[in-house]
Amino acid sequence: MKQLNGIIIYSLFAGITIFLGGLLARTFEKLISKEIKTYTLHWTIAFGGGILMAAIAFVLTPEAIQTFSVLVMAIIFATGAFVFFLLDKSIAKRQGVLAQTMAMMMDFIPEAIALGATFMHNHRLGMLLAFFIGLQNLPESCNAYFDLRKSNQSPKKILIIFFVLSFFGVIAALAGRFLLVNQVRLTQGIMLFAAGGILYLIFQDIAPLSKAEKRWEPTLGAMLGFLIGLIGTKLLG
């Protein structure tokens, strides 16, 4: 029961940052000038990319490298990247609220499933994964909020959507807990699959947006995000 409560609490933390990121973006929208908002957005995008890189390097791949053969490891990782490529390509054609929402959830859901399964056999690794997911969702939801605003969606509607999505992590984590509790290899396979997909997203969607015209320092946000992941790994790993 104690472990189950831990999964719910940590997955809720990982998911609620979607809503908090939306609130933060709404505050920026009302109180900050367009120039500062754009500058801050580049920082947050780069920061999110750095966090995602840290998640790949320190949580999603290390155990899988030890578990799978080179061929199996390569196939799973490449399949993840290819599937995310197909999803990203499909989403780009659709546009609208559903498309933007799917884009934000692409990495969150498989990571949350892995979180629930991982928590049972490695409590500290589960905590670390929740930490990474929560931090990466914050800038991702900020960016998604502004993308949805460009589609003429109302702030209230966006925040309601983000609030509901915040609880999807709990559902996914509980599914991972009950369906994958004794499936260590399958759990590591899901994490490796997600790592391949996330790496694709970093270089397709995140890295290009982190660069600001005639500005160089926002890209340092990627270093900051990775550094926080490094520190988190040292403290929790």
- Among residues 42, 21, 62, 28, which one has the least CA distance to residue 222? 42
Note the Cα 232 to chain centre separation in Å. Answer: 16
pLDDT at residue number 210: 64
The residue-averaged pLDDT of 42-47 equals 81
pLDDT at residue number 47: 85
Distances (CA, A) of 221 to 23, 35, 225: 21, 18, 6
Query: Per the confidence metrics, is the pTM higher than 0.85?
Result: no
Q: 215 has which bridge partners?
A: 212
HSE toward the beta carbon, residue 23, CA cutoff 13 A: 7
- DSSP-derived letter for residue 15 is H
pLDDT at residue number 82: 94
The residue-averaged pLDDT of 152-163 equals 89
Q: Which residue has the higher pLDDT, 150 or 198?
A: 198
DSSP H or E stretch at residue 202:
none
Print the domain residue range for 226: 2-236
pLDDT at residue number 1: 66
- Indicate if the pLDDT at residue 96 is higher than 70: no
Least trusted range by pLDDT, from 17-31, 140-154, 171-185, 198-212:
198-212
| Contact of 125 with 5, CB cutoff 8 Å | no
Beta-carbon contacts of residue 52 (< 8 Å; ≥ 6 apart): 107, 136, 198, 201, 202, 206, 225
Tokens describing residue 119: 């928590």
Least trusted range by pLDDT, from 12-21, 78-87, 99-108, 120-129:
99-108
The residue-averaged pLDDT of 192-216 equals 79
Q: Which residue has the higher pLDDT, 212 or 65?
A: 65
For the chain, the average pLDDT equals 84
- pLDDT confidence tier of residue 159, bands split at 50, 70 and 90: very high
Distances (CA, A) of 100 to 103, 106, 130, 149, 161: 5, 10, 23, 11, 11
Our count of domains for the chain comes to: 1
- Indicate if the pLDDT at residue 18 is higher than 90: yes
